């Protein structure tokens, strides 16, 4: 690991770095403006889940290849194992609230079983959640409930109530992200247009096809989005997953080549990126309802 990256595995480690008190070993609600220590530059590898609710723009977060779309009234999220570079503007202090919870907190809880459904923890660049004032009040209300439980003496109800309130917070984030996909429909449409163009280029470029069947990550990288955000965008706009969208394109190209070229079925299979022709035959039959040979005969 890069020597400049600070690996923060526990809530207590995080609190000590910023001079904060640890009230619960597995969860924390932090007022960033009250942190006694806050360096201008640092890089974290998180060992727990984080949500930062930003009140004012005072710096930038780099995650992946670009800067986070991290502005006033926004939320950014990180999952265990993710690395974030933070650079504060000179003379500024952070303003906002951080909610951190360790995977051990939600183990054997409904939230622990569903945590992978919250795709926004894997959103990477230019993908922050921007809140309206009313939405922010709802989020803060959820955070205050978590903070109340964290500040109490731990009892037999603590884990369930904290996990339940974190789940409520995440559910609202999910709802507001769904709203954001709608309000950014024009931008999303531009992404879909580029996605379609990239798909066309992929099947026209023999060198690209040598890498195999097109993958979601390839196209997400090309439009500078994380695979999860890109997949959610495509799903919201088309009703299909990005993988289903790609598969439909593969079927369309395959039908065109089967009916309009003299290539053998094995050649078409290879040209499309299938490792084995029998895999292509099964894929084609599942999508079209008949084998490539049968389809070619019907088009003759």
Long-range contacts formed by 194-200: CB under 8 A, 24+ apart: 194/222, 194/223, 195/219, 195/223, 195/234, 195/245, 198/222, 198/223, 199/246, 199/249
| Phi, psi angles (nearest 5°) of residue 231 | -65, -40
Q: What does CATH list as the number for 6-183?
A: 2.60.120.280
Residue 71 tokens, joined: 């502005």
Cβ atoms within 10 Å, residue 255: 17
Please write the tens of the pLDDT for every residue from 237-257. Answer: 999 999 999 999 999 999 999
Closest among 119, 125, 129, 121 to 184, alpha carbons compared: 129
Please name the residue that has the structure tokens 């978590």.
146
Please list, in sequence order, all residues whose beta carbon lies within 8 angstroms of the beta carbon of residue 215, skipping any fewer than 6 positions away. Answer: 246
Q: What is the pTM of this model?
A: 0.75
By the 10 Å C-beta count (0-12 exposed, 13-18 middle, 19+ buried), 155 is classed as exposed
pLDDT at 148 over 90: yes
Please write the tens of the pLDDT for every residue from 35-84. Answer: 887 766 778 889 999 999 987 544 444 444 444 444 446 898 999 988 87
Where are the domains positioned within the chain? 6-183, 186-299
pLDDT number for residue 201: 92
- Angle CA(8)–CA(10)–CA(16) in degrees, nearest 5? 75
Residue 39 to residues 88, 92, 129: CA-CA distances in angstroms? Answer: 8, 10, 25
Q: Could you say which of 1.10.3720.10, 3.40.50.2000, 1.10.10.60, 2.40.128.120 is the CATH number of the domain covering 186-299?
A: 1.10.10.60
Residue 241 to residues 3, 208, 244, 283: CA-CA distances in angstroms? Answer: 39, 22, 5, 17
Please name the residue that has the structure tokens 């999860």.
228
Radius of gyration of the chain (CA): 24
Q: How far apart are CA 131 and CA 147, in angstroms?
A: 21
Residue 282 tokens, joined: 């099964």
| Phi, psi angles (nearest 5°) of residue 42 | -160, 160
Please write the tens of the pLDDT for every residue from 213-236. Answer: 889 999 999 998 889 999 999 999
């Amino acid at each position: 690991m890069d020597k400049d990256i600070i690996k923060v595995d526990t809530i207590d480690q995080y609190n000590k770095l910023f001079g904060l008190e640890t009230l619960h070993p597995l969860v924390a609600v932090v007022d960033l403006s009250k942190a006694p220590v806050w360096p201008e530059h640092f890089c974290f590898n998180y060992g727990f889940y984080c949500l930062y609710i930003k009140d004012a723009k005072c710096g930038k977060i780099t995650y992946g290849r670009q800067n986070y779309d991290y502005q006033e009234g926004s939320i950014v999220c990180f999952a265990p194992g993710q690395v974030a570079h933070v650079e504060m503007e000179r003379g500024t202090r952070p303003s906002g609230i951080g909610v951190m919870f360790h995977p051990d907190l939600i183990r054997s809880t409904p939230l622990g079983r569903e945590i992978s459904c919250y795709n926004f923890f894997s959103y990477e660049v230019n993908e922050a959640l921007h809140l309206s004032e009313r939405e922010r009040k709802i989020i803060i209300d959820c955070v205050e409930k978590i903070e109340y439980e964290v500040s109490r003496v731990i009892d037999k109800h603590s884990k369930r109530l904290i996990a339940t309130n974190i789940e409520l917070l995440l559910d609202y984030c999910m709802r507001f992200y769904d709203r954001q996909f709608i309000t950014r429909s024009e931008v999303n449409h531009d992404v879909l247009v580029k996605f379609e163009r990239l798909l066309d280029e992929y099947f026209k470029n023999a060198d690209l096809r040598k890498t195999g069947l097109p993958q979601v990550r390839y196209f997400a990288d090309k439009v500078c989005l994380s695979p999860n955000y890109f997949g959610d965008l495509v799903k919201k706009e088309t009703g299909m997953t990005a993988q289903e969208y790609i598969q439909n394109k593969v079927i369309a190209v395959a039908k065109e080549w089967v009916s309009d070229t003299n290539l053998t079925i094995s050649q078409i299979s290879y040209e499309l990126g299938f490792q084995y022709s029998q895999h292509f035959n099964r894929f084609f039959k599942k999508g079209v309802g008949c084998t490539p040979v049968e389809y070619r005969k019907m088009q003759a």
